[in-house]
C-alpha cells in the first residue's frame, strides 16, 4: 500500500505514535488509508452541508474496510465575490486548491482519495489535483440547490441578479425584489441552474470520475447521502484494482464530457476548466475541438438561464446518464471509456432512460442542431472567444454594432445602470483577463443588468474576462489574446464597428489591417491592476484563456 510509506516498519514507529495521538488504532492503521478532501465552509451555500456528505463518505470507506482521513481545502463563493475585488481571486483559487491537495496527498501518501466538492472553482481544482497525483480517486459533489418559487414560477439566483436591472428600469418594484431575494435560494446546494458549478459536476460525471447521479441528485435528497456512502465504498474498489484517474480521463473521455457539455448547454467556463484538467492528464486540447464536437452534438436541454428548467428537473428526467444515452444514438459518446463504477460508459447507461421529453429532447427534436457553446475567431480574437450560443436570442446570432469601450467592469456597470447603453451597442469590457484583471473576473452583474433592462436581445457584451454560467444573451468572453498581453481588444476605440456572426463562428473589428497596425504601434501596454501578493504572482505565471488559464511551466 502507498500509505505504508508513512506507517509500516520499525522506522515508522514515531509516525504511528503521532497517529495514535489522534486516536487511531493499530487496526485502523493496518487498513488502506483514504484521504477525504472536504471543502466544507460557512461562506458558500453549496458547501455549507458538506460535512454531512463527508461523514457519509467516511462511513462508506469504513464499511468497505478502509480508514478515512479528512483534510480541508479553501473555496470562494462566486456569487458573494461577484462585482468587487473579491472576484479577482475566484479563478486564481483553482490553482491554490489543486496545489494544496497535491501538498497534502504527497506529504501524507494516501492509498486513495475522495474529493468532496460542489462549487465553481473547487470542482475543477480538485479534478486537476486528481489527474496530477494520479492515485485512485473519486469525486462526489454536494448536489444542486432546489429552485425557489416566486409568484408561482421557479426562480434562482440569476432571477435576483436580473431583478436589480428590472428595478432600475422600472419593471419591478423594490418590494418585489425584496421578496424575491428571500425565496430565490431556498437552501443548501450549488445554485439551481446550469451555471458553472452544476456544469462542472455534470462534466465530472460524464468524464467518469463521478458516480452516476453526481451532477443532478439534489443536495437535500437522501439519495445524495446514499451516493456519498457509495463513493466511499467505490474508492476502495478503485484502490484494490489500482484504477487511477489517468486510466479514466483519456482523450475519448474528454470528448464524452464535451459532448455532454454541448447537449446540456453548460457554462462557458467549462472551456477554461476542461482544457486545464486535460493538461494535468498530459493531454492538449485545441479549442477547435469544442466546435468540432458541437457540430455533431445537438443542444437537447434548456436549463436556466437558457430555459425554464432546473437541475431537479434534469434529475427527474433521467440526469446526465439519460442525456448520454440519448446522444449516444449519434455516435458522439465513446461507450468503452472506463468510469469510477469500474464499468464502462456503455455499461452504465444501458439501463438509463429519458423520462421527460420536455426536459431532455430527443436528438431528432433538439433545441438546436449544434451544441450549447461556440468558439469564435477573427481579427478581434485571433486565439478564440467563447459564447453560450444556446442562451442567445435568435435576433442576436448575427449582429453588428457600435463599440462602447470600458477598461473595467465597474466602469461598464456604471454606464449600464445610468442608462448610457442603448440598443445596438456592443459593450467591450477589457483588462479583465487572467493577467490583466488579474484573475479573469466572472461578470454576472453587467449581463444580468442588461437582461433585466430588456436589452439582452439588442446589446452584445464582449470581454477578455469571463461571464457567469448564469449569463444569457450575446455575451462573448475569453477574448484571446487579452488586452494586457497586447491583444486586438486593447486596440478597440469608442465608436468602432464590431461584427458578430455566431453561426459562422466569427468576430471582427471592422478596421483595416493598416489601421490595426498603426494602433498597435501607438499602443502603450497597461500593467496588471494588482501587482502584489498572490494575484501579483498569479499575473506573472498565468497563461491565456485560450489555454485554460493554466500556469506557465
Residue 489: Cβ within 10 Å count = 28
DSSP 413-452: HHHHHTT---TTEEEEE-S-STTTTTS--EE-HHHHHHHH
Grid cell, residue 274, equals: 476542461
**Contact predicate 515/523, CB 8 Å:** no
Closest C-alpha to 50, from 29, 73, 28: 73
Residue 212 CA to residue 227 CA, distance in Å, equals 9
Bond from prior residue into 7 cis (ω within 30 degrees of 0): no
**Contact predicate 36/71, CB 8 Å:** yes
Query: Angle 144-266-466 (CA atoms, 0-180°, nearest 5)?
Result: 105
Name residues whose C-beta falls within 8 Å of residue 182's C-beta, 6 or more positions apart in sequence.
none
**Contact predicate 390/306, CB 8 Å:** yes
Name residues whose C-beta falls within 8 Å of residue 265's C-beta, 6 or more positions apart in sequence.
194, 299, 301, 302, 303, 306, 367, 371, 372, 373, 388, 390, 391
Of the listed 468, 480, 544, 546, which one is catalytic? 468
Residue 103 CA to residue 94 CA, distance in Å, equals 14
Q: Which residues pair with 37 in a beta bridge?
A: 71, 115
Q: Is 42 exposed, middle or buried (0-12, 13-18, 19+ CB in 10 A)?
A: exposed
Q: Label residue 496 left, alpha or beta by phi (over 0 means left) and psi (-120 to 50 means alpha).
A: beta
Residue 465 CA to residue 469 CA, distance in Å, equals 13
SS3 450: helix
Residue 517: Cβ within 10 Å count = 12
Q: Which residues pair with 113 in a beta bridge?
A: 35, 137
Please state the φ and ψ torsions of residue 71, each to the nearest 5 degrees.
Answer: -145, 155
DSSP 161-176: HHHHHHHHHTSS-HHH
Using CA atoms, how far residue 536 sits from 434, 527, 550, in Å, is: 11, 11, 15
Residue 146 CA to residue 144 CA, distance in Å, equals 6
User: How many Å is the Cα radius of gyration of the chain?
Assistant: 23
Query: Angle 187-191-192 (CA atoms, 0-180°, nearest 5)?
Result: 90
Grid cell, residue 451, equals: 437582461
* 468 has catalytic annotation: yes
Residues belonging to the active site: 468
Amino acid at each position: 500500500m502507498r500509505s505504508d510509506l508513512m506507517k509500516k516498519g520499525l522506522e515508522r514507529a514515531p509516525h504511528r505514535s503521532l497517529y495514535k495521538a489522534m486516536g487511531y488504532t493499530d487496526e485502523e492503521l493496518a487498513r488502506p488509508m483514504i484521504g477525504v478532501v472536504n471543502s466544507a465552509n460557512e461562506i458558500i451555500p453549496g458547501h455549507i452541508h458538506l460535512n454531512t456528505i463527508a461523514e457519509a463518505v467516511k462511513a462508506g470507506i469504513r464499511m468497505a474496510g478502509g480508514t478515512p482521513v479528512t483534510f480541508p481545502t479553501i473555496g470562494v463563493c462566486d456569487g458573494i465575490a461577484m462585482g468587487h475585488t473579491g472576484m479577482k481571486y475566484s479563478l486564481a483559487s483553482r490553482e491554490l486548491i489543486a496545489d494544496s491537495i497535491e501538498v497534502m496527498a504527497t506529504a501524507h501518501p494516501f492509498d486513495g482519495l475522495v474529493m468532496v466538492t460542489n462549487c465553481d472553482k473547487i470542482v475543477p481544482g480538485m479534478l486537476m489535483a486528481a489527474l496530477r497525483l494520479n492515485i485512485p480517486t473519486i469525486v462526489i459533489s454536494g448536489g444542486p440547490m432546489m429552485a425557489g418559487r416566486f409568484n408561482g414560477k421557479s426562480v434562482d439566483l440569476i432571477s435576483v441578479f436580473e431583478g436589480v436591472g428590472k428595478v432600475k428600469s422600472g419593471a419591478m418594484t423594490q418590494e418585489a425584489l425584496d421578496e424575491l431575494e428571500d425565496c430565490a435560494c431556498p437552501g443548501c446546494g450549488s445554485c439551481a441552474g446550469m451555471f458553472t458549478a452544476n456544469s462542472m459536476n455534470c462534466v465530472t460525471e460524464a468524464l467518469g470520475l463521478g458516480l452516476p447521479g453526481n451532477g443532478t441528485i439534489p443536495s437535500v435528497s437522501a439519495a445524495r447521502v446514499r451516493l456519498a456512502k457509495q463513493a466511499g465504498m467505490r474508492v476502495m474498489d478503485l484502490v484494490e484494482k489500482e484504477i487511477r484517474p489517468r486510466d479514466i480521463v483519456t482523450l475519448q473521455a474528454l470528448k464524452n464530457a464535451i459532448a455532454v457539455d454541448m447537449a446540456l448547454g453548460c457554462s462557458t467556463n467549462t472551456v477554461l476548466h476542461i482544457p486545464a484538467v486535460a493538461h494535468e492528464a498530459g493531454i492538449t486540447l485545441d479549442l477547435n475541438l469544442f466546435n468540432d464536437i458541437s457540430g455533431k452534438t445537438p443542444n437537447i436541454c434548456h436549463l436556466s438561464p437558457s430555459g425554464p428548467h432546473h437541475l431537479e428537473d434534469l434529475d427527474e428526467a433521467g440526469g446526465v446518464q439519460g442525456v448520454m444515452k440519448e446522444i449516444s444514438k449519434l455516435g458522439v459518446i465513446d461507450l468503452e471509456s472506463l468510469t469510477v463504477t469500474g464499468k464502462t460508459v456503455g455499461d452504465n447507461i444501458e439501463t438509463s432512460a429519458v423520462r421527460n421529453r420536455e426536459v431532455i429532447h430527443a436528438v431528432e427534436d433538439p433545441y438546436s442542431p449544434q451544441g450549447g457553446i461556440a468558439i469564435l475567431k477573427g481579427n478581434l480574437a485571433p486565439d478564440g472567444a467563447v459564447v453560450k450560443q444556446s442562451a442567445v436570442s435568435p435576433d442576436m446570432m448575427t449582429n453588428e454594432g457600435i463599440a462602447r469601450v470600458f477598461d473595467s467592469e465597474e466602469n461598464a456597470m456604471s454606464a449600464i445602470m445610468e442608462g448610457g447603453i442603448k440598443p445596438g451597442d456592443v459593450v467591450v469590457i477589457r483588462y479583465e483577463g487572467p493577467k490583466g484583471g488579474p484573475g479573469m473576473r466572472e461578470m454576472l452583474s453587467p449581463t444580468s443588468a442588461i437582461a433585466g433592462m430588456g436589452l439582452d436581445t439588442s446589446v452584445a457584451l464582449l470581454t477578455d474576462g469571463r461571464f457567469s454560467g448564469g449569463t444569457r444573451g450575446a455575451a462573448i468572453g475569453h477574448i484571446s489574446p487579452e488586452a494586457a498581453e497586447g491583444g486586438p481588444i486593447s486596440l478597440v476605440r469608442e465608436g468602432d464597428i464590431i461584427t458578430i456572426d455566431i453561426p459562422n463562428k466569427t468576430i471582427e473589428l471592422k478596421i483595416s489591417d493598416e489601421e490595426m497596425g498603426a494602433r498597435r504601434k501607438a499602443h502603450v501596454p497597461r500593467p496588471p491592476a494588482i501587482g502584489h501578493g498572490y494575484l501579483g504572482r498569479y499575473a506573472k505565471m498565468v497563461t491565456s484563456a485560450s489555454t485554460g488559464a493554466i500556469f506557465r511551466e
